C-alpha cells in the first residue's frame, strides 16, 4: 500500500531486518477484517506509508533478534493488531497497554502479514492453541479478541444484543452461548442471509436494526461501524444496561435525547486489546470449542477479498492464504 484509497499492489520488497527484541516470522495465513478496510479506505488517517497491511497473522518463527527470550525458533505464533507498546507509561504499568499513547499497530503503523515474511516484537507474539488449523485460528486474533474484550466490558448480561453480524459477531456469539447468555442479533434491514447465519451460530433471535428485540436487553455490542446505531442500542437496553462500541472506527454518532442515556445506562468503547486478553481468550477458545467460518483467498486476490468484505458478502471471516 503506497497511498490510501488505492488498491493494494503485489510487489517484491526487501526482506525485513531484525532489531533487538524482534522475531522473524514466515507467514502462513493472514485474516482480513474491517479495520483493514478502514486503513485502505483512508478512514484511519495516519498509516505508515508504504505499508504492508494485515494484523491477524499466523506463521512460524524462523529467526530471533538479540535479546529475545520469550519466543523460540520454530514456534507457531499469532500476531494481532497491537504490535508494540512502550512498557513504561502509566497505562502499560497498569496492564492496559492497549491505551498506550506510543503504541504501534500491526498493518497500520507497523508492516503486517500480507507478505511472506514479517518481523514482530516478541511481546506481541501469542502462542496458538493446538487443534486449530492456521486458516481457522487467524480470525481469533482480531475478530475473536475484540469480541472477547467487548463481551467482558459488557458485563454479566443475561440478554445480549449484537449489532452487525460478521466475523467478530459469529465468534463472540459462541462464547456468549457457552456462558449461558441469550443472544439477539440485529443486522441491516433486509439482510436475511446474515440473520440466517446468526441463527446457525445459536442466537435466540435474529432481526433487523429497525425492529425491537423481543426482550429488553441487559447489554449490547455494536460491531457495525455505524454511529446511528448507538441511540438505537441505548433504547434497546434496560436501565443500568451497557452499550459497547466494538470497532476502532465508527461514523459520527447523531445527537439523541438525554432520556435515552438516562437511567444509569453506560456507553463505552473498546480500544485494541491487551496481551493478557490474548492469553485468556486463546486458552478459552478450544474449551468451547469455537469454530470459525472462513472464506479463503490467495494473497494475490487481496483486493477482491477486501471488496467482498466491503460489500458485506463474506460469511464469517475472510482469510488470505500467504504460503502454500
The verdict on pTM exceeding 0.75 is: yes
Domains defined for the chain, CATH in brackets: 22-141+293-321 (3.90.180.10), 144-269 (3.40.50.720)
**Strand ranges in 13-125 using DSSP code E only, listed in sequence order:** 22-32, 56-64, 76-79, 82-84, 104-105, 117-121
Would you give the DSSP letter of residue 123? Answer: G
CB 206 within 8 A of CB 196: yes
**Sites in the chain below the pLDDT cut of 70:** 4
What's residue 92's pLDDT?
98
For the chain, give percent helix, strand, coil, nearest 5: 30, 25, 45
pLDDT at 6: 82
User: By C-alpha distance, which of 34, 57, 37, 39 is closest to 3?
Assistant: 39
In the prediction, which pLDDT does 2 show? 75
Q: Which helix (H) or strand (E) holds 185?
A: strand 182-187
Q: Which three cell numbers stand for residue 201?
A: 451460530
55/32 Cα distance (integer angstroms)? 8
3 state SS of 26: strand
pLDDT of amino acid 23: 98
Determine the pLDDT at residue 314.
Answer: 96
pLDDT at 252: 97
Q: Does residue 241 sit in helix, strand or coil?
A: strand
Evaluate whether 287 touches 261 at the Cβ level (below 8 Å): no
Nearest to 203 by CA among 183, 179, 175: 183
Angle of helix 167-178 relative to helix 143-153, nearest 10 degrees, comes to: 50
Q: What is the pLDDT of residue 324?
A: 73
The pLDDT tens digits of the residues spanning 193-220 come to: 999 999 999 999 999 999 999 999 999 9
CB 236 within 8 A of CB 213: yes
Torsion-angle region of residue 150: left (phi > 0), alpha (psi -120 to 50) or beta? alpha
Distance, C-alpha 116 to centroid of its chain? 22
Cell numbers linked to 145: 479478541
The DSSP 8-state label assigned to residue 282 in this structure reads: H
Amino acid at each position: 500500500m503506497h497511498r490510501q484509497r488505492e488498491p493494494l499492489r503485489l510487489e517484491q520488497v526487501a526482506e525485513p531486518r531484525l532489531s533487538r527484541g524482534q522475531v522473524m516470522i514466515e507467514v502462513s495465513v493472514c485474516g482480513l477484517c474491517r479495520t483493514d478496510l478502514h486503513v485502505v479506505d483512508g478512514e484511519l488517517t495516519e498509516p505508515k506509508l508504504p505499508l504492508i497491511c494485515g494484523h491477524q497473522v499466523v506463521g512460524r518463527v524462523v529467526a530471533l533478534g538479540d535479546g529475545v527470550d520469550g519466543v523460540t525458533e520454530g514456534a507457531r505464533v499469532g500476531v494481532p493488531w497491537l504490535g508494540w507498546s512502550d512498557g513504561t507509561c502509566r497505562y502499560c504499568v497498569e496492564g492496559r497497554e492497549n491505551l498506550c499513547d506510543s503504541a504501534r499497530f500491526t498493518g497500520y503503523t507497523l508492516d503486517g502479514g500480507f507478505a511472506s515474511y514479517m518481523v514482530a516484537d516478541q511481546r506481541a507474539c501469542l502462542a496458538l492453541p493446538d487443534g486449530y488449523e492456521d486458516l481457522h485460528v487467524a480470525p481469533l486474533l482480531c475478530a475473536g479478541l475484540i469480541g472477547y474484550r467487548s463481551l467482558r466490558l459488557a458485563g454479566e448480561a443475561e440478554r445480549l444484543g449484537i449489532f452487525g453480524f460478521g466475523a467478530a459477531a459469529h465468534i463472540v456469539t459462541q462464547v456468549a452461548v457457552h456462558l449461558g447468555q441469550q443472544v439477539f442479533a440485529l443486522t441491516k434491514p433486509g439482510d436475511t442471509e446474515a440473520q440466517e447465519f446468526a441463527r446457525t451460530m445459536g442466537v435466540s433471535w435474529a432481526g433487523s436494526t429497525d425492529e425491537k428485540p423481543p426482550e429488553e436487553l441487559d447489554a449490547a455490542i455494536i460491531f457495525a461501524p455505524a454511529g446511528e446505531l448507538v441511540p438505537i442500542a441505548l433504547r434497546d437496553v434496560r436501565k443500568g444496561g451497557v452499550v459497547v462500541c466494538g470497532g476502532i472506527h465508527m461514523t459520527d454518532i447523531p445527537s439523541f435525547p438525554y432520556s435515552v442515556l438516562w437511567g444509569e445506562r453506560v456507553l463505552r468503547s473498546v480500544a485494541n486489546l491487551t496481551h493478557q486478553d490474548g492469553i485468556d481468550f486463546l486458552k478459552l477458545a478450544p474449551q468451547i470449542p469455537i469454530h470459525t467460518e472462513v472464506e479463503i483467498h490467495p494473497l494475490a486476490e487481496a483486493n477482491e477479498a477486501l471488496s467482498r468484505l466491503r460489500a458485506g458478502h463474506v460469511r464469517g471471516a475472510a482469510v488470505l492464504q500467504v504460503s502454500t
